[in-house]
């Protein structure tokens, strides 16, 4: 019997990458067509993996960093997230191979990490 584990998948992309610059340089009609193609592929990916998806997640907005000095607005590469369940980290990562985030859209990568149990006292 295989034990399944939970994994957080974080989608990464940069507004200043060459891939994003090329995306933004597309004629509007072509970019809109690729957006529609990308969203159709993303929805197909969700449908294909719906049994593995724990939390569909979604796009991420502007980031506020909170530390000992207070709250500041920061920029990072985090663009979206999804939570999946799989037998191993390798199996979880394989779910995202050729994902539309970077196969169609100008995203750069998806990082997959285990959600670990909270240590007991």
What tens digit of pLDDT does each residue of 53-64 get? 999 999 999 999
- Given this structure, which CATH class describes domain 5-114? alpha beta
3-state secondary structure the chain: CCCCEEEEEEEECCCCCHHHHHHHHCCHHHHHHHHHHHHHHHHHHHHHCCCCEEEEEEECCCEEEEECCEEEEECCCEEEEEEEEECCHHHHHHCCCCCHHHHCCCCCEEEEEECCCCCCC
User: What does the mean pLDDT of the chain come to?
Assistant: 95
Does residue 105 surpass a pLDDT of 50?
yes
Does residue 7 surpass a pLDDT of 70?
yes
Q: What's the confidence (pLDDT) of residue 1?
A: 44
Q: What is the pTM of this model?
A: 0.90
Domains of the chain, by residue range, sit at 5-114
Q: What's the confidence (pLDDT) of residue 3?
A: 83
What tens digit of pLDDT does each residue of 21-59 get? 999 999 999 999 999 999 999 999 999 999 999 999 999
Q: What's the confidence (pLDDT) of residue 99?
A: 97
């Amino acid at each position: 019997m295989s034990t399944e584990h939970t994994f957080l998948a974080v989608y990464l992309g940069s507004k200043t990458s060459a891939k994003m610059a090329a995306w933004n340089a597309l004629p509007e009609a072509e970019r809109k067509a690729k957006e529609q193609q990308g969203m159709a592929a993303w929805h197909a990916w969700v449908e294909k993996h719906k049994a593995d998806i724990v939390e569909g997640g979604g796009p991420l907005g502007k980031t506020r960093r909170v530390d000992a000095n207070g709250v500041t607005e920061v920029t990072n590469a985090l663009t979206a997230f999804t939570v999946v369940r799989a037998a191993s980290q390798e199996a979880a990562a394989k779910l995202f191979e050729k994902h539309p985030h970077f196969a169609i859209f100008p995203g750069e990568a998806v990082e997959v990490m285990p959600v670990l149990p909270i240590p007991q006292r």
